[in-house]
A and B are shown apart, each in its own frame.
Chain A
Amino acid sequence: MTAEIVLQVFRFGFLLLLWLFVFAAFRVVRADLLGGRTGRVSSVPPRAQAGKKRGGRGPKNLLVTAGPLSGTKITLGEQAILIGRADDSTLVLTDDFASSRHARLTNRGGQWYVEDLGSTNGTYLDQQRVQGPLLVAPGQPIRIGQTVLELRS
């Protein structure tokens, strides 16, 4: 039979090992949360450049304020944002009132314009149905079916 001291070392050593694994997992969770932020931080230089161009006053996020996807936040860049039910949209809606390619937000010189892509039920900017491209101010609600979006700076 093995010596008692060895058994005690095994007994507590194994618990220690198990908890070390748990804490390693916590570290990964933490790094994951912070990693997301560093990912954004490292994408700051190009955005700062763009900000210089337009005086740093352009909106930075597109926030979903109502609807099933409420709370989803999309960081804005230079690229257009496609909204609709199609799988390859930037914001994929699962809404019976949305068309597969419903609307598009485009950036022109730091300003964002919303444009309807021929949807069935229409896109509304502040109660007004969007016909041609319209300038969107931060905080102005864009409604698509049950989803409401806002630009936030």
Chain B
Amino acid sequence: MAAPAAGPGTDPRQGAPGVTTPPKRRGTELLMLGFAVLITLAAQTIVDITVTGSPSPEIATFGAWFTGLWLVAHLVVRKVAPYADPLLLPCVAVLTGLGLSMIHRLDIAANALGESVSAREDAPTQLLWATVGMVLFVAVLLVVRDHRALSRLAYTIGLVGLVLLAIPAVLPSALSEVNGAKIWIRVAGFSIQPGEFAKICLVIFFAAYLVDKRDVLALASRRVLGLEVPRARDLGPVLVAWGVSILVLVFERDLGSSLLLFGIFVVMLYVATERASWLLIGVLLFAAGGTVAYQLFGHVRVRVDTWLDPFAYYPDGGGYQVVQSLFGLGTGGLFGAGLGGGRPDQVPVAKSDFIAAALGEELGLFGLVAIVVLYLVLVERGLRTSLVVRDGFGKLLAAGLAFGVAWQVFVVLGGVTGLLPLTGLTTPFVAYGGSSLVANFGLVALLVRISDAARRPAAPPAPPAPKLGEALTEVVKP
């Protein structure tokens, strides 16, 4: 893909006399990354001292590795996306670091009790996945020099996304099923959740598709009861997205991905067309699909029933996880039991699906809210990028990716706290799970790339005017 003349990496206005370039803020990013690493190392040390009485010798190796990871990320961003948002990486670093610390803490708990079947350490594995994720991050930034190039490949990327989504449904259960959800590819000891990558591919496709079609979807409408209602034939795309979500639900028994994809699509449709009727249509379709799924599928019914009254299914039955999680959050109270001071291992699968409950127990409401606010900052930076960037595809892509993170956090935390039925989604960046972590690093790379384009000073027009040096044009967001 040939980069346009004024591609990233070359700043035509740099060094021009009398021109103020907007600040790049890479120093801020480095400082915040340092802070993030400090918090992670503090968490690890506190866990070790609280549980075993002395810091473990591995902390030096871990610290060096973790620091190296973010240093590499920072240097690459400095090189190829110098105007990128300074807060995206630090937020991700803190969340990843907290996740690693909590997984390490749960490792210790499992090994101390001898409950662990294989007595394996999951934290080093997760660190390895973070490294793989960082490789993807760097690769995305190096390969995608201009996010608009992606819109030209959108249909291919969309197809790849659909294939990734469909693979587990087609594979035999032995290769694809874990705990009742057929969302895995298990090859040679590795488990990959292709849906995590499919999510990003589909967001790219949605963005490109909606930029193309939004005029039709937004303008051809009738006014009914004060609401702009689209024509019946324009309902096609939303019905297809809905159908795919239902298929995922039926064949992969994966409530989470189904909800995630449909939610992202409806919101992107809304962002693209500014028509609130799409949200209403989405909610109605969701209600219809949810009701039918509840009637037809046992696994959905179990989830909803345990959500409505978890204590009725405790201690035997589907309510065990949620109730243990609620007990944990309750024990944690406002300030938590302190890192290493609680019993978060009492919740089944605390490392992946229920890591938010573990964090809530040990850091308390104050700690959990801090984590939610970190997600909020991440999402805010994404949405801000979407506002500032000047091309429609970039706007929709950034909005879709940022909303995807927000929606996922909402659904996961809702499940853990009993607000929503359990869905089996993972907390982005924090939860144990290679695919989720790697895919989300790729997602952040895309956001970094778009935010670089958004904050970069406007490039002058192609035929250089004689007064180029005194260029003053800059875009100020509304």
Contacts and interface: CB of A to CB of B under 8 A. Distances in A.
B228 interface: no
B94 interface: yes
Interface string B220-242: 00000000000000000000000
B99 interface: no
Top 6 nearest A-B pairs (CB, nearest first) are A77-B472, A11-B338, A71-B478, A94-B392, A82-B461, A18-B370
Interface in B119-175: 148
A20 B339 CA distance: 17
B374 A88 contact: no
A11 B476 contact: no
B111 interface: no
A44 to B, nearest CB: 10
Contacts of A32: 25, 86
18 contacts: A10-B46, A10-B338, A11-B341, A17-B38, A17-B39, A22-B370, A22-B374, A25-B90, A25-B91, A26-B377, A31-B28, A46-B472, A69-B390, A73-B477, A73-B478, A82-B461, A88-B459, A94-B391
B169 to A, nearest CB: 35
A92 interface: yes
Interface of A: 1-2, 6-8, 10-12, 14-15, 17-22, 24-26, 28-29, 31-32, 35-36, 39-40, 42-43, 46-47, 61, 68-69, 71-82, 86-92, 94-96, 146
Interface string B9-20: 000000000111
Interface string B347-388: 000000000000000011011001101100100110000000
Contacts of B49: 2, 6, 10
Nearest to B38: A17
Q: Which of A71, A78, A88 has the most CB of B within 10 A?
A: A88
B53 A75 contact: no
A95 B214 CA distance: 10
B473 interface: yes
B339 A14 contact: yes
B296 interface: no
Given A17-B38, A79-B467, A81-B473, 7 more contacts: A7-B341, A20-B35, A72-B475, A73-B475, A76-B473, A77-B474, A92-B392
Interface string B454-466: 0000111110010
A90 B473 contact: yes
A56 to B, nearest CB: 16
B59 to A, nearest CB: 15
Contacts of B467: 78-79
Interface range on chain B (Cβ under 8 Å from partner): 35 or more
B70 to A, nearest CB: 14
A29 B370 contact: no
Nearest to B339: A14
Interface in B3-61: 4-6, 18-20, 22-23, 25, 28, 32, 35-36, 38-39, 42-43, 46, 49-50, 53
B393 interface: yes
B200 interface: no
B309 interface: no
Contact of A2 (B4, B36, B53, B459): B53
Contacts, number: 172
Contacts of A20: 35
B410 to A, nearest CB: 19
Nearest to B476: A73
Interface string B313-347: 00000000000000000000001111101000000
B471 interface: yes
Contacts of B474: 39-40, 43, 74-75, 77
Interface of B: 4-6, 18-20, 22-23, 25, 28, 32, 35-36, 38-39, 42-43, 46, 49-50, 53, 86-87, 90-91, 94, 148, 211, 214-215, 335-339, 341, 363-364, 366-367, 370-371, 373-374, 377, 380-381, 390-393, 458-462, 465, 467-468, 470-478
Contacts of A79: 460, 465, 467-468, 470-473
A46 B50 contact: no
B87 A15 contact: no
Nearest to B387: A71
A47 B476 CA distance: 16
Contacts of A39: 20, 22-23, 474
Contacts of A15: 335-336, 363-364, 366-367, 370
Given A74-B473, A75-B474, A88-B6, A25 B377 contact: yes
Contact of A40 (B39, B339, B468, B476): B476
Nearest to A89: B461
A1 B53 contact: yes
A68 B275 CA distance: 12
Contact of B363 (A18, A74, A77, A96): A18
A86 B18 CA distance: 28
A68 B22 CA distance: 26
A14 B35 CA distance: 13
Nearest to A76: B473
A95 B216 CA distance: 11
Contacts of A88: 4-6, 459, 461-462
A42 to B, nearest CB: 5
B418 to A, nearest CB: 24
Nearest to B90: A25
B339 A10 contact: yes
Contact of B366 (A19, A72, A96): A19
Nearest to B377: A25
Contacts of A28: 25, 28, 32, 86-87
A18 B475 contact: no
Nearest to B462: A88
Contacts of B460: 79
